C-alpha cells in the first residue's frame, strides 16, 4: 500500500489542494488530506519516481502461458503456470492431466487446435483421476476444435 499526503497547515502550500480524485471506478475523496493507493497482483505503485511530483501505476502482470501439446508429450501434466493448453492430436490421442490442487479459482483452457479429436480424442483428467470435473473423473473431446474452459473452485473443477 502506498500513501500520499498533501500537507496544508504550514510551509509552502501547493497552489491548489485537490479535494477529490477521479478514477476509472469512481471518485476518491481524501480523508485528512491522505489518499491510500493499493496495488494488487501485477500492479506496482511508485510515488515520486526520480524525485518528481508524480505517481506511476505500472501493470506488470505476466500474460497467460500458452503450451502446445502433441501426442508425443502425452500424457501431459499441466503446470501451475499454464493457462491455454493447445492440443495437436494429428498424430494420435492426447491425455491432459490437470493439477489436483492448483490455486483456488485458477483457470485453464484446453483446446483441440487441429480439429482431429474425432479420430484422436483429447482426454482431460486430473493427476491420478482423484479430483472431478463437473462430477466426472474425465472429459473427452470427440468433436473437431472442441475446447473446455475450467476453473478450480478449491475442491473440484467446474467447466464453462
Note the pLDDT tens digit of each residue in 133-157: 999 999 999 999 999 999 999 999 9
**DSSP characters over 103-160:** STT-EEEEEETTS-TTTS-EEEEEGGG-S-BTTBSEEEE-STT-EEEEEE-SSSEEE-
Greatest Cα pair distance, the chain, in angstroms, is 78
Residues 72-106 have pLDDT tens digits of 999 999 998 899 999 999 999 999 999 999 989 99
Per-residue pLDDT reduced to its tens digit, 33-43: 666 666 655 66
Mean of the per-residue pLDDT values of the chain: 82
Q: Cell numbers of 75, please?
A: 500424457
Of 138, 136, 132, the residue nearest 157 (C-alpha): 132
Asked whether 46 and 53 are in contact (CB, 8 A), the reply is no
Percent with pLDDT over 90 in the chain: 52
**To 5 degrees, how large is the angle CA 62–CA 63–CA 66?**
125
Strands 82-88 and 94-98: unpaired
Cell numbers 493457462 correspond to what residue?
83
- Say how far apart CA 112 and CA 130 lie, in whole Å: 24
Alpha helix (H) residue ranges in the chain:
none
CA dist 74 and 96 (Å) reads: 7
- Determine the pLDDT at residue 6: 53
How long is the chain? Answer: 160
Is residue 105 a contact partner of residue 153, using CB atoms and an 8 Å limit?
A: yes
CB 7 within 8 A of CB 14: no
Amino acid at each position: 500500500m502506498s500513501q500520499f499526503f498533501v500537507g496544508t497547515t504550514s510551509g509552502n502550500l501547493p497552489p491548489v489542494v485537490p479535494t477529490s480524485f477521479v478514477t476509472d471506478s469512481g471518485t476518491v475523496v481524501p480523508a485528512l488530506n491522505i489518499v491510500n493507493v493499493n496495488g494488487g497482483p501485477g500492479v506496482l505503485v511508485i510515488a515520486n519516481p526520480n524525485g518528481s511530483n508524480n505517481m506511476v501505476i505500472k501493470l506488470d502482470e505476466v500474460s497467460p502461458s500458452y503450451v502446445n501439446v502433441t501426442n508425443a508429450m502425452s500424457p501431459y501434466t499441466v503446470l501451475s503456470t499454464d493457462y491455454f493448453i493447445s492440443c495437436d492430436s494429428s498424430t494420435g490421442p492426447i491425455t491432459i492431466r490437470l493439477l489436483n490442487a492448483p490455486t483456488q479459482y485458477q483457470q485453464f483452457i484446453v483446446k483441440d487446435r487441429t480439429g482431429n479429436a474425432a479420430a484422436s480424442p483429447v482426454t482431460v483428467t486430473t493427476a491420478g483421476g482423484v479430483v472431478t470435473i463437473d462430477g466426472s473423473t474425465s472429459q473427452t473431446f470427440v468433436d473437431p476444435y472442441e475446447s473446455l474452459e475450467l476453473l478450480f473452485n478449491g475442491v473440484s473443477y467446474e467447466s464453462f
